[in-house]
């Protein structure tokens, strides 16, 4: 593998109707094909394509094993270009506006995927595995599909936080015992907006104003935040991906996570490029990552697969999914408030994967 760092018939009929007025890309008929020979046709075409280029935000320690499994199964070379979701978005848009269409498929964070869709760079596609997905995994336009979820939970160091002290609600984070002892990830404005909306905007903003007065430790990076909790540098994190905490816990680190109500999740999706140079391989990759085999590989990386066919303790709680489209539409508003509360008005830095 080369790595560059820096149901079904009804669903298909609805998809064709939904996108009849969308500008068609050169591969639409292939991407929406549902004939009985689809699997054989896809594999034969992918063999001729020989390779597939995927832009992803999934870190290399997770994306490489998944890519190797794809290569071993199909004999199709998979090349990864991995960076943060924001940089993937920037690269895709810059290349497209310059008339370069190198990328075949994407796997990245929901808000940035939605932005790429709005740039007209994605095409709707059919996959037989949508039947295994919850409604939260499928945006209305169906130009991308969630293959994994990031759930925002709290996490705490069990050596520094007694069982009786563990917060049971967001309001518990305002207990004086947490002054200077709470960690907050610097770029989680979509979580912030979702919690505020759930509380009611006036009450929600006031809650976060009080939280800001607790002198939280603000850091960039969810993986870093989990490591700081495990090391004891930060006793309690208010915003963490539960899979990051779980990954350390199974290795014996003194860290546990807990879902507060309401719990919000951010979708991460897979999509095929409208003008892919290797469309068969692109669609084959999308099928693979959404298949039970691909979803089990995501689970094995201690991440949260979107498929209901794969059992994991990382989603066994009530949750609401953050709407990437809504977050994009209201980004300026919520980022401004967040920056004023927690970043002293400075620009927001993100490290999403």
Read off the pLDDT of residues 195-214 as tens digits, 9 standing for 90 and up.
Answer: 999 999 999 999 999 999 99
Q: How many CA atoms lie within 13 A of 49 on its CB side?
A: 26
Q: Of 90, 83, 76, which Cα lies nearest the Cα of 43?
A: 76
pLDDT at 352: 59
Say if CB 244 and CB 263 are below 8 A apart. no
pLDDT tens track for 303-323: 999 999 999 999 999 999 999
> pLDDT band at residue 24, thresholds of 50, 70 and 90?
confident
CA 284 from chain centre, in angstroms, equals 20
Alpha-carbon span 153 to 239, nearest angstrom: 6
Residue 18 has pLDDT above 70, yes or no: no
Residue 350 has pLDDT above 60, yes or no: yes
Kindly report the average pLDDT of the chain as a whole number: 92
Alpha-carbon span 243 to 338, nearest angstrom: 24
Cβ neighbours of residue 274 closer than 8 Å, sequence gap 6 or more: 25, 26, 27, 120, 121, 122, 123
Q: Of 251, 239, 171, 244, which Cα lies nearest the Cα of 211?
A: 171
Residue 143 has pLDDT above 60, yes or no: yes
Q: Which of 20-24, 111-115, 149-153 has the lowest mean pLDDT?
A: 20-24
Q: Is the peptide bond before 117 cis (omega within 30 degrees of 0)?
A: no
Alpha-carbon span 188 to 184, nearest angstrom: 8
pLDDT tens track for 53-81: 999 999 999 999 999 999 999 999 999 99
Say if CB 57 and CB 107 are below 8 A apart. yes
Q: Of 121, 151, 124, which Cα lies nearest the Cα of 139?
A: 124
Alpha-carbon span 255 to 227, nearest angstrom: 9
Q: Of 279, 285, 268, 290, which Cα lies nearest the Cα of 1?
A: 285
Higher pLDDT, 22 or 101: 101
């Amino acid at each position: 593998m080369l790595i560059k760092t820096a149901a079904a018939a009804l669903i298909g009929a609805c998809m064709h109707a939904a996108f009849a007025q969308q500008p068609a890309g050169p591969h639409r008929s292939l991407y929406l094909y549902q004939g009985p020979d689809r699997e054989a046709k896809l594999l034969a075409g992918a063999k001729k394509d020989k390779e597939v280029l995927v832009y992803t935000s999934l870190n290399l320690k997770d994306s490489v094993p998944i890519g190797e499994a794809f290569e071993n199964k199909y004999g199709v070379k998979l090349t990864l270009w991995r960076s943060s979701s924001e940089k993937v978005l920037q690269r895709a848009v810059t290349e497209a506006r310059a008339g370069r269409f190198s990328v075949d498929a994407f796997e990245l964070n929901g808000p940035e995927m939605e932005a790429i869709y709005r740039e007209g760079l994605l095409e709707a596609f059919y996959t037989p595995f949508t039947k295994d997905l919850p409604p939260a995994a499928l945006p209305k336009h169906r130009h991308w599909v969630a293959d994994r979820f990031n759930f925002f939970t709290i996490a705490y160091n069990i050596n520094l936080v007694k069982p009786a002290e563990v917060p049971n609600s967001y309001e518990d984070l305002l207990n004086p015992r947490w002054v200077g002892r709470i960690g907050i990830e610097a770029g989680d404005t979509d979580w912030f907006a979702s919690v505020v909306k759930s509380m009611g905007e006036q009450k929600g903003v006031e809650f976060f104003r009080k939280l800001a007065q607790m002198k939280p430790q603000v850091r960039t990076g969810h993986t870093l935040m989990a490591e700081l909790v495990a090391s004891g540098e930060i006793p309690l994190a208010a915003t963490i991906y539960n899979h990051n905490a779980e990954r350390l816990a199974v290795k014996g680190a003194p860290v546990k996570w807990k879902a507060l109500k309401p719990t919000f999740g951010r979708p991460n999706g897979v999509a095929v490029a409208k003008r892919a140079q290797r469309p068969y391989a692109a669609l084959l990759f999308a099928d693979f990552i959404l298949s039970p085999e691909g979803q089990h590989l995501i689970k094995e990386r201690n991440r949260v697969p979107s498929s209901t066919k794969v059992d994991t303790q990382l989603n066994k709680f009530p949750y609401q999914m953050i709407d990437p489209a809504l977050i994009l539409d209201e980004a300026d508003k919520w980022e401004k408030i967040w920056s004023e509360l927690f970043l002293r008005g400075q620009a927001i830095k993100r490290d999403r994967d």
